[in-house]
Amino acid sequence: MKAGIVRAWGGPEAVRIEEVPDPVPGPGQVLVRLRAAGLNRADVIIREGGFPEAPCPIILGVEGAGEVADPGDRAYGLEAGQKVLLSPMIVCGACAACRAGADNACPSLKVIGEHMDGTYAQYIAVPRHNVLPAPANLGHVELAAAMTAYMTAWHMLATRAAVAEGETVLIAGAGSGVGSAAVQVAKLLGARVIATTGTPDKERRLREIGADEVIDYRRTPEFHEAVRDLTGGRGADVAHDSVGRATFQRSILALRHGGRLVCMGSHTGARVELDLWNIYRREITILGAHTAGARDIAEFLPHLAGGALRPLVDSVFPLERAADAQARLVSSERFGKVVLTID
């Protein structure tokens, strides 16, 4: 089969399209014929050698969609040719966290495309737990763009931050895949959404998907002051930050007394300098988020199937142009997800 594989860490050119052996499904696994793969920042971090747990060589790709090629045991309830999307977390399925639907806390958690070969390929063999019947209203490209962004945004806002109807939510860096998904999730939860972005075009598009107010952080670097102006001096109830060092302190300053900052992601830097006085004096709660669990996925998928959540695709590249797709992924002009199609 064809696959986008990295054999030595480096730049986008390190992703090479090669013929590799087809995966052979083992006990409890399903073979999926992939039609599309969604790109994520994790792909770039791994390609550059920034994720020490990743093996080398590795086929990149955290998320994907396609059809069942070999359904395995009949008890799995899958049929050959059935359209599916993948959950990226490989878990034990037996520990207390897995049994409770919080499998993101599984002690043996591993991620497709990070700890093992991923979705930049024609085929992948994964445990039955990871193969989900796809909403019929979405094509493969949209499905490949949906899972990671929406499961992360849902886990951050609905589960960790417990956003309530009528609250004001700040989404920092809202033009990214997770950021644009978070705008939609926050609106679905009944929040007023204030988003930050860096171009007039992204500002327009964020308003189209539900942002009530948009702040251009290039014109207003101290965006927390604009948030306070927009909230009559009070501040936001919740700040969603998937950017990291560049926005973290300002996201805290944008919050009201007793506000919540929920954070996941650090592509601008994992280490930050904090003003602790602003945290304890104003009783700010900082909530970390990693990845979603089965409960989160079960909650957001009906909204995806019903059309309330609609994946935003920035651009589509064939698998053979995986290096170009990764270059687009880190472009400041990108809005939404970058997707590979797999013939």
Q: What is the pLDDT of residue 342?
A: 98
Average pLDDT for residues 57-81, to the nearest whole number? 91
pLDDT over 70 (residue 120): yes
pLDDT over 90 (residue 274): no
Q: What is the pLDDT of residue 245?
A: 80
Q: What is the pLDDT of residue 304?
A: 93
Enter the tokens of residue 126.
């994964």
pLDDT band at 57 (very low <50, low <70, confident <90, very high): very high
- CA 290-156-54 angle, 5° bins: 20
Q: What is the pLDDT of residue 102?
A: 86
Question: Per-residue pLDDT tens for 206-220?
Answer: 999 999 999 999 999
Top-tier CATH class for 150-288: alpha beta
Distance CA 157, CA 211 (A): 15
Contact 16/5 with Cβ under 8 angstroms?
yes
Distance CA 332, CA 269 (A): 16
pLDDT over 80 (residue 273): yes
Q: Label each residue of the chain as H, E or C.
A: CEEEEECCCCCHHHEEEEECCCCCCCCCEEEEEEEEEECCHHHHHHHCCCCCCCCCCEECCCEEEEEEEECCCHHHCCCCCCEEEECCEECCCCCHHHHCCCHHHCCCCEEECCCECCCCECEEEEEHHHEEECCCCCCHHHHHCCHHHHHHHHHHHHHHCCCCCCCEEEEECCCCHHHHHHHHHHHHCCCEEEEEECCHHHHHHHHHCCCCEEEECCCCCCHHHHHHHHCCCCCEEEEEECCCCCCHHHHHHCEEEEEEEEECCCCCCCCCCCCHHHHHCCCCEEEECCCCCHHHHHHHHHHHHHCCCCCCEEEEEEHHHHHHHHHHHCCCCCCCEEEEECC
pLDDT over 80 (residue 267): no
Q: What is the pLDDT of residue 155?
A: 95
pLDDT over 80 (residue 72): yes
Q: What is the pLDDT of residue 24?
A: 94
Question: Per-residue pLDDT tens for 145-204?
Answer: 999 999 999 999 999 999 999 999 999 999 888 999 999 999 999 999 999 998 899 999
* CATH 3.90.180.10 domain range(s) in the chain: 2-146+311-341, 150-288
Percent of the chain with pLDDT over 90: 82
pLDDT band at 271 (very low <50, low <70, confident <90, very high): confident
CATH, range 2-146+311-341: 3.90.180.10
Mean pLDDT of the chain: 93
Contact 243/214 with Cβ under 8 angstroms?
no
Question: Per-residue pLDDT tens for 218-237?
Answer: 999 999 999 999 999 999 99
Question: Looking up tokens 């993101």, which residue turns up?
Answer: 104
pLDDT over 90 (residue 265): no
Average pLDDT for residues 243-258, to the nearest whole number? 92
pLDDT band at 75 (very low <50, low <70, confident <90, very high): low
